[in-house]
Structure 1
Amino acid sequence: MKDFPAQYDLQDEDVLYFPHIPKTAGMTFRTILEDQFHNDDVCPATLNAQLKDYSQADYEKYRLFRGHINYVDIPQILSHKHLLLVTVLREPVARVISHYEYIRRMPGDPHYDMVKDMTLEEFAQGMPVGRLGKNVQTYYIAKLAQFDLNHLSPDEVFDLAKKQLDRLAFVGILERFQDSLFLLSYIFGWKPIINTRRENAAKDKKSKEEIPPSTIELIKQNSLLDIDLYQYAKELFETRFAEMQRDLLTKYGAFTHPQTVKEPMSSQVTQELLERHAEQRFLNLNPDISNSLSYDFVEPLRGTGWHRRESLNDRSGYRWIGPETSATLDFPVASDEDVIIEIKTICNYATTPDVAASLTLDVNGHPVQLEILYSDRGSSVRWFRAIVPKVALDNGRVFSRLTFRVNRVVSFTEVNPLNPDPRVVGIAVNSLKIFPVHAAKTESAALSVFELKSWRDVATFLEKHLGPGDKIAAPLVFQLKLPNEVLDYQTAFLSKVDFQWLILYKGTIENLNPILFNLLIHRFSPVFADGNFVVFTRQKQLPKLSFLALHVRALYEDRIKVPIKLYIIRQLKQIKSLFVRRSKQAETD
């Protein structure tokens, strides 16, 4: 790290390589690195065996390699690329103990049979040098400089590893993991990374105090190279971290707490100054900021409070809010008018209904009203829309911050006891789009639903029969296609608006039973129906469909017979309760 620039902007020809040393928070660090790259740029392989079938052409496609792949000579394979190496080291004694415990609780580990009956002492001294128990970190780092270490003495391997640390783009220290992420963010100009994840972490750990001093001493004697290398890495890190803080203080200290900011800075102040630093680095590379953008979670993450990225079959990505109840995204948006934000959520069936319905949004601290454009029960999708006033965007910063909140987070097992995923989550967000209000009917991502024939047919039918002043109750996405005023179902019924048409989408996630009862009460008649929609109206001139027609009858049969049965049961219970009370009263009298 000593020989690498203090700040560096990644170039197209750069490839980042993170060789994951066992039990150094590598699983967590791996997902953090993935956050900074487009999903297509990340090599899927994370184990040596997974790389065996890769061709040279396969290697050429990726800009991030990470995982337990140190027995594949990545530096040689990508020798014509500009390879940037990053790593995290851990206090050696703690690393050995953690590795030993990990193997013994994981029957699927390739070393399980060999280690399961070993004592910690046997593990520390009985393993071959550079494998499992002995000086693992030194040999991992040295292999980055020279793949074959078989003919080198331990001292030669150590010297090689030490020189390689000087050349690395970044060396983090597990015991200062958050500070390490701050330094990583500073080097590459990324939004300050705040760690909220603990991937693959043990639930119960033995502390050093629980282990006999003689065992600790034995581990130390078998980890002398790692201890010296770790000490050297700490010195490199502390020097670079102090230089970073001084630079941030000089450039941006006047913007925040100018009277109180001094070295060493708190994590909160460091984060605030790194936000300024990341904005300036972004602006240096992107001087022109647009009034619109589209974002899918396959793209690099500029935000906090999200779980790791996941992928769908259509190659789009998504992330769950969690483990806390709020998450943020930062976007560069410059507009001289109000803008619309559209948000697509998915997997609504995988969380509880109250959580799925609780999403709220703030823009730069200004609450904005979310409304549902449409929802689909089959694909478990909801499209939300918010109109953001220009004043909410005028925060004097390069980025506007979107803050998503839910009422609570739930475990997957709360919804499905068979789901082994231990995470707690809120809502899964797939994508969003921002554009000026005036462009709604051309830029909306929700227009894609009208690529489906049934949606087009309904819109065409309404366009043909609407009167000039007619109002329509429907999924709000029809505002994008119809010239007349479109109200959502709740507004139409609760506000007592006089509306003449109702488009009922059978696939909506929202509860339709109150709507169906209201339609009967207000004397609406069906005039159009297919497998997905029924259109109702109070207009007299159109031929009406029978409520027994196939596509109309199915709607009521599926949704009303159960509520009516429940209603009758409730009425009978009330009658019974009244009878019991009167009987007791008669006995008293």
Structure 2
Amino acid sequence: MASRIAQLRNWLEKRAPTQDCPIYFQHIPKTAGVSVRTWLHSYYGDRLCPAWLADDLVRLAPELLRDYKAFAGHFHSYLEPYLGRNLVTVTVLREPVARTRSHWHHVRRAPEHPHHLRVTGQTFTDFVMDDLNRVMIEDYQARYLMKLPLSLEVVAHRHTRTDATLSALSEALEQTSLPLCKPELLEGATLALKRMAAIGVTERLHDFLVRVAKVANIPLPAAKAVPYTNATEQNHAGELSPESLRRLRDLTRIDQELYEAAI
């Protein structure tokens, strides 16, 4: 698959910049996406949609959504059909162990997170070994890329009507993708990446921003234009037992394959 992604990148680099379609940064949580959004906002300003979560997006009036030139948020692969507009989609992937560790940190320090009360007392090993946390771990990046045959509007109506919590829709979207069989997930995530206008990795964020700028026909970012925002405290990263590391590797095999294809 790595060679297919490389061929795709070569083709993408030769594409003419787009001026007609809005940019969509498909933000997979804990992949340095806040830094990407900060950079996009520095150029687009109020032309960047303020919604970050799907729950916020569906509360915005359709006439407002039509005016935005850029989107950056946790909308999975459902934004384009929801808007009824063609989008130029880009994304960033992260090494799965590091991404999972960052997710664990985030849940522990975010009281509003639906899993906070359970996770707040867990070590990183506890987090990985707890089956209830699979929704936040198991091939998480591939599941964010996968496009299921569902309507964001229909799912939003169902969950915002029955649950008034801030992240009810976001949680539902993550839970819906968990039962997917692995071959289907790999195929769907690979197809999603092939359709991307730019793919990057967290460790080479500036290179990714340069590619996005070229695709969007906007000014190139300076070498240190975007500091890492919302970064995990590495000195409190936590260690995994050998058993939990094996489990984590097994749960994120597809994510690892996608990441290695992108670097």
When normalised by structure 1's length, the TM-score is 0.36
Match of 1:42, as an amino acid?
L
CA distance in 1, matches of 2:178, 2:106: 27
2:72 corresponds in structure 1 to 66
Match of 1:140, as an amino acid?
Y
Which runs of structure 2 are paired with 1:547-566 in the superposition (5 Å)? Answer: none
1:155 corresponds in structure 2 to 183
1:116 maps to 2:145: no
CA distance in 2, matches of 1:182, 1:136: 26
1:214 corresponds in structure 2 to 243
Q: What do the CA deviations read for 1:147-178 (whole angstroms, capped 9, x no partner)?
A: 57577422101111011101101111112222
Q: 1:19 to 1:114 in 2, by over 3 A?
A: farther
1:230 maps to 2:259: yes
Match of 1:40, as an amino acid?
D
Secondary structure of the corresponding residue to residue 25 of structure 2: strand
Match of 1:173, as an amino acid?
V
Q: CA deviation at 1:74?
A: 1.2
Q: 1:88, 1:173 within 8 Å by CA — same for their partners in 2?
A: yes
Q: 1:27 to 1:185 in 2, by over 3 A?
A: same
Instruction: Give RMSD over aligned pairs.
Output: 2.6
Secondary structure of the corresponding residue to residue 63 of structure 2: helix
Q: 1:36 is matched with which residue: 35, 40, 43?
A: 43
Q: 2:17, 2:214 within 8 Å by CA — same for their partners in 1?
A: no
1:49 corresponds in structure 2 to 55
Q: 2:97 is matched with which residue: 93, 98, 106?
A: 93
CA distance in 2, matches of 1:228, 1:31: 28
When normalised by structure 2's length, the TM-score is 0.75
2:32 corresponds in structure 1 to 25
Secondary structure of the corresponding residue to residue 168 of structure 1: coil
1:76 corresponds in structure 2 to 81
Q: CA deviation at 1:184?
A: 2.8
Match of 1:101, as an amino acid?
H
1:10 maps to 2:24: no
Match of 1:183, as an amino acid?
R
CA distance in 2, matches of 1:151, 1:202: 29
Match of 2:31, as an amino acid?
T
1:200 corresponds in structure 2 to 230
Q: 1:41 to 1:205 in 2, by over 3 A?
A: same
CA distance in 1, matches of 2:233, 2:242: 24
Which runs of structure 2 are paired with 1:326-341 in the superposition (5 Å)? Answer: none
Secondary structure of the corresponding residue to residue 5 of structure 1: helix
Q: What do the CA deviations read for 1:226-256 (whole angstroms, capped 9, x no partner)?
A: 111212222xxxxxxxxxxxxxxxxxxxxxx
Q: 1:16, 1:65 within 8 Å by CA — same for their partners in 2?
A: yes
CA distance in 1, matches of 2:257, 2:39: 28
CA distance in 1, matches of 2:132, 2:24: 27
Q: 1:123, 1:133 within 8 Å by CA — same for their partners in 2?
A: no
Count how many residue pairs are aligned between Structure 1 and Structure 2: 227
Q: 1:128 to 1:76 in 2, by over 3 A?
A: farther
2:169 corresponds in structure 1 to none
Q: CA deviation at 1:222?
A: 1.4
Match of 2:146, as an amino acid?
A
Secondary structure of the corresponding residue to residue 18 of structure 1: strand
Q: 2:19, 2:217 within 8 Å by CA — same for their partners in 1?
A: no
CA distance in 1, matches of 2:127, 2:138: 9
CA distance in 1, matches of 2:94, 2:83: 27
Q: CA deviation at 1:221?
A: 1.3
More helix by share: 2
Higher relative contact order, chain-length normalized (CA < 8 Å, sep 6+): 2
CA distance in 1, matches of 2:182, 2:214: 34
Query: Any unmatched runs of 5+ in structure 2?
Result: 151-175
Q: CA deviation at 1:27?
A: 0.5
Match of 2:32, as an amino acid?
A
Secondary structure of the corresponding residue to residue 36 of structure 1: helix
Secondary structure of the corresponding residue to residue 146 of structure 2: helix
Q: CA deviation at 1:127?
A: 3.7
Identity, % of aligned positions: 30
CA distance in 2, matches of 1:132, 1:96: 8
Q: 1:183 is matched with which residue: 203, 211, 219?
A: 211
Q: 1:89, 1:174 within 8 Å by CA — same for their partners in 2?
A: yes
Q: CA deviation at 1:33?
A: 1.9
Q: 1:15, 1:63 within 8 Å by CA — same for their partners in 2?
A: yes
Secondary structure of the corresponding residue to residue 12 of structure 2: coil
Q: What do the CA deviations read for 1:550-569 (whole angstroms, capped 9, x no partner)?
A: xxxxxxxxxxxxxxxxxxxx
Q: 2:124, 2:240 within 8 Å by CA — same for their partners in 1?
A: no
Match of 1:11, as an amino acid?
Q
Query: Any unmatched runs of 5+ in structure 1?
Result: 235-589
Q: CA deviation at 1:128?
A: 6.0
Q: 2:96, 2:255 within 8 Å by CA — same for their partners in 1?
A: yes
Q: 2:34, 2:229 within 8 Å by CA — same for their partners in 1?
A: yes
More strand by share: 1
Match of 1:21, as an amino acid?
I
Of structures 1 and 2, the larger Rg is shown by: 1
Q: 1:139 is matched with which residue: 126, 143, 146?
A: 143
